[in-house]
A = this chain, B = another copy of it.
Amino acid sequence: MPRPLPHRLLAEYLGSLLLAALVIGSGIAAQRLSPDDVGLQLLENAAATAVGLYAIILVFGPVSGGHFNPAVSIADAVFGGLAWRDVPAYALAQVLGCVTGAVLANVMFEASPVSISTTQRATLAHGVSEVVATVGLLLVIFALVRSGRAALAPSAVGAYIGAAYFFTSSTSFANPAITVGRVFSDTFAGIAPSSVPVYVTAQLVGIAVAIPLLRLLYPTQTTAENAAPVTEGQVR
């Protein structure tokens, strides 16, 4: 049975806060310290995000599920995990956490506590990228969950996001809450408010694509208890 809702919301808030501080903070450091090569900046940002995300999911996963992402919470509700009535509270905690984390990142790097990003990202290619990025993220998480391998989710999600920063042109936000949070820092990882609708719409499309794929690939739910060890990432 799940932990009391307030505890879970605190976990989602704190985890989302740390996630946004991680993503935005490492972006600021990369931008300032490697001014001559944007690819190197993205490598530093991606590497920090990948390994940091692994640690953050480990911290909060057993309390709230470690979503930090309304797209994950919605998909979890669709598959019968999170109760639908808890989804709005989860999403609110996630957005508030990401906004707070953006402010914290700004403060840690002596920038103005709040600055609205001016980075325009609303292109068709970025929209396609966000659909792909979100589908991939949900496949990673729920393929593991639905086959009794949820213990691998922290490392798999960190690894996937680290890769997706590079293989999509949008640098793979794949998360409506962090998309909103990134508005509040006019730095490397920021996004202009006017570009948010394109990103969030694409992420919602990603959910709609991922759900039926997961139902097809993993038709039945397997719990860790009855999963054979051989099913964990087996080659055949």
With A34-B37, A167-B29, A168-B25 already in contact, the answer to whether A140 and B82 are too (CB < 8 A) is no
Q: Which residues, 23 to 51 on A, are CB-close (under 8 Å) to B?
A: 23, 25-26, 29-30, 32-34, 36-51
Q: Does the CB pair A51–B162 fall under 8 Å? A: yes
- Give the A interface residue count (CB, 8 A): 105
- Residue picked from A43, A76, A231, most chain B C-beta under 10 Å: A43
Q: A161 to chain B: closest CB distance in Å?
A: 9
| Residue A118 CB within 8 A of the other chain | no
Stretch in A6-14, A174-182, A190-198 touching the partner: A6-14
A25–B170 Cα distance when bound, in Å, is 11
**Residues of chain A having any CB pair with chain B under 8 Å:** 7, 10-11, 14, 18, 21-23, 25-26, 29-30, 32-34, 36-52, 54-55, 57-63, 65-67, 72, 76, 81-82, 104-105, 107-110, 123-125, 128-129, 132, 136, 139-141, 143-145, 147, 149-160, 162-170, 213, 216-218, 223-225, 228-236
Q: Sample 5 A-B pairs with CB under 8 A, ordered by A number.
A: A21-B132, A48-B165, A55-B160, A62-B231, A153-B235
